[in-house]
Amino acid sequence: MSITPRKTKTGKTYYFVRVKAGRDPIASKAFDTKREAEAWERDQKHRLETGLPLAPKRSFTLQQLVDEFLASRAGGNPHTVDTDRNGIAALPVSLLRRPLSSIHSGDIRSHLTQQLERKKPSTVAREKTTLSALFTFASEQGLLHQPHPVRTMKRIPELGATAQRAISPKDVPSATRLNEALARIRARRADVADVFEFMALTGIRWGEARALRVDALAEIPFAQLVVTRSHSDRYEEKETKTWRGTRTLPLSPRALEIFRLHSFDKAPDEYLFTNQVGRQLSVGVVNKFPLGFERHSLRHFAASTWLRLGTPIHEVAEYLGDDSRTVLAVYAHILGEGQRRAHAQRLALAETENQAGDTWGTPGANSAAKPAVTLLKAERGN
């Protein structure tokens, strides 16, 4: 090993480090300061003595890392593999062609920020998770010799857990808009409209609706839907995302009516919702009947309706198969709306009682309980 001071064309001094194993050159690198050069030289010496892998050559690109990463994941969960591929597919070619050693947190942050301009925060957050796994893989393989580009990246507010989960009022269709969409679809395919309406009444996901069997109804002590499985298109059927594995939720009269209509004359293990030839319903069929908003918004409609009805958060979370904290984060605007409405109602009631008895609150309240505006007038002698 050796450190040689050199000068650029402009006369600036830099330090060139050359690492050898015997007579064979292993690695080389230039630094602006001698301290940095010595630190890198010590690290390379330590790696040679302990058998740790050295940094890959400058010719080892991000694309090569991606290829190795995807190959290592090939035998895993198909859904996870597809998510990884989709997340990495968004990387620009200019970044993939660069040497791995030149990729830093600023490059990844810039890429994710650009993605946010045309994608939802939740989608970009999944891409960030994939990229984090990619560079963690590089570190485990001894290929990453710079700080982890995702873990050391400056925080992007839009990708925070609360920010990406929260929905705005525009993400939840109004009852009028939903009814209009269902009426339009029912005129073409009543069975598809029934599926959408059932999802809006129960808050179940598309994969869960697709996997429902006739035996999913429990009628004692009252009508409830038992959700145990989910079956996304192109993937194997599996347990739901609910951490308990199974959840039950009460059915409204209309939801029960739809269930009985579609379960009529079917065996307990048959699918509840089927196509016109009796086979399991597929997303290809329902996509022919657009709602005018995302299908997942039906779940938001159900949850928002329950919260507006005063259903406790922990119950809504149980019916959705989510954590209470997730419900708080996702539907914060609904909860805030309810609190503001209740506050306005309390104010209106208090003003009415005040006008009737010139007191604030309940009859018999003392003068100290008068509203602030009344007390102010008294103090000013008005």
CA atoms of 73 and 219, how far apart (whole Å): 44
Same domain, 30 and 66: no
Same domain, 210 and 308: yes
In sign, the C-alpha dihedral spanning 162, 230, 311, 300 is positive
Instruction: Indicate the angle between helix axes 190-202 and 253-263, nearest 10 degrees.
Output: 140
What is the reported pLDDT for 56? 60
- By the 10 Å C-beta count (0-12 exposed, 13-18 middle, 19+ buried), 6 is classed as exposed
Structural domain contains residue 205: yes
Of 164, 190, 205, the last residue of a domain is 164
The more confident residue out of 296 and 379 is 296
Same domain, 272 and 188: yes
What is the reported pLDDT for 334? 74
Question: Coil, strand, or helix at residue 3?
Answer: strand
pLDDT digits (tens, 9 = 90+) for 297-333: 999 999 999 988 888 989 999 999 888 887 887 887 7
Question: Coil, strand, or helix at residue 284?
Answer: helix
Expressed as residue numbers, the domain containing 10 is: 2-50
Structural domain contains residue 122: yes
- Find the CATH number of the domain harbouring 112: 1.10.150.130
User: Does pLDDT of 190 surpass 70?
Assistant: yes
User: Does pLDDT of 366 surpass 50?
Assistant: no
The answer to whether the beta carbons of residues 238 and 355 sit under 8 Å apart is no
The answer to whether the beta carbons of residues 101 and 89 sit under 8 Å apart is no
- Chain-wide mean pLDDT for the chain? 83
Same domain, 297 and 196: yes
Same domain, 196 and 291: yes
Which tokens sit at 188? Answer: 């073409």
In sign, the C-alpha dihedral spanning 35, 2, 16, 48 is negative
In terms of Cα–Cα distance, which of 231, 81, 224 is closest to 216?
A: 224
Structural domain contains residue 322: no
Structural domain contains residue 198: yes
Structural domain contains residue 325: no
Give how far the C-alpha of residue 231 lies from the chain's centroid of Cα atoms, to the nearest Å.
Answer: 19
Same domain, 204 and 304: yes
pLDDT digits (tens, 9 = 90+) for 147-183: 899 999 998 887 775 555 566 667 788 999 999 999 9
Q: What percent of the chain has pLDDT over 70?
A: 84
Phi, psi of 117 (to 5 degrees): -70, -20
What is the reported pLDDT for 25? 67
The answer to whether the beta carbons of residues 299 and 203 sit under 8 Å apart is yes
Same domain, 111 and 86: yes
Same domain, 197 and 296: yes
pLDDT bucket at 358, cuts 50 / 70 / 90: low
The answer to whether the beta carbons of residues 29 and 20 sit under 8 Å apart is no
- Find the CATH number of the domain harbouring 227: 1.10.443.10
User: Does pLDDT of 131 surpass 90?
Assistant: yes
Same domain, 69 and 127: yes
User: Does pLDDT of 13 surpass 50?
Assistant: yes
CA atoms of 330 and 65, how far apart (whole Å): 36
Which residues have C-beta within 8 Å of that of residue 11, sequence separation ≥ 6?
A: none
The more confident residue out of 291 and 380 is 291
The answer to whether the beta carbons of residues 295 and 304 sit under 8 Å apart is no
Cross-sheet strand order for the sheet of 13-21: 2-7, 13-21, 24-31
CA atoms of 156 and 110, how far apart (whole Å): 10
Of 265, 284, 313, the last residue of a domain is 313
Q: How far is CA 194 from CA 216, 257, 261, 304, in A?
A: 17, 10, 10, 20
Same domain, 90 and 147: yes
| Mean pLDDT to the nearest integer, 62-86 | 87
What is the reported pLDDT for 343? 74
Which residues have C-beta within 8 Å of that of residue 61, sequence separation ≥ 6?
A: 96, 97, 98, 99, 100
**Domains identified in the chain, total number:** 4
CA atoms of 299 and 291, how far apart (whole Å): 13
Structural domain contains residue 327: no
What is the reported pLDDT for 177? 94
User: Does pLDDT of 367 surpass 80?
Assistant: no
Structural domain contains residue 324: no
The more confident residue out of 209 and 341 is 209
For 205-223, the DSSP string reads -HHHHHH-BGGGEE-SSS-
Of 103, 135, 164, the last residue of a domain is 164
pLDDT bucket at 370, cuts 50 / 70 / 90: very low
The answer to whether the beta carbons of residues 227 and 236 sit under 8 Å apart is no
Q: Which of these ranges, 133-142, 226-235, 373-382, has the smallest mean pLDDT?
A: 373-382
Q: How far is CA 293 from CA 119, 167, 299, in A?
A: 16, 14, 12
Same domain, 22 and 99: no
CA atoms of 145 and 52, how far apart (whole Å): 12
Which tokens sit at 126? Answer: 């999944």
Structural domain contains residue 321: no
Same domain, 344 and 271: no
CA atoms of 20 and 34, how far apart (whole Å): 19
pLDDT bucket at 267, cuts 50 / 70 / 90: very high
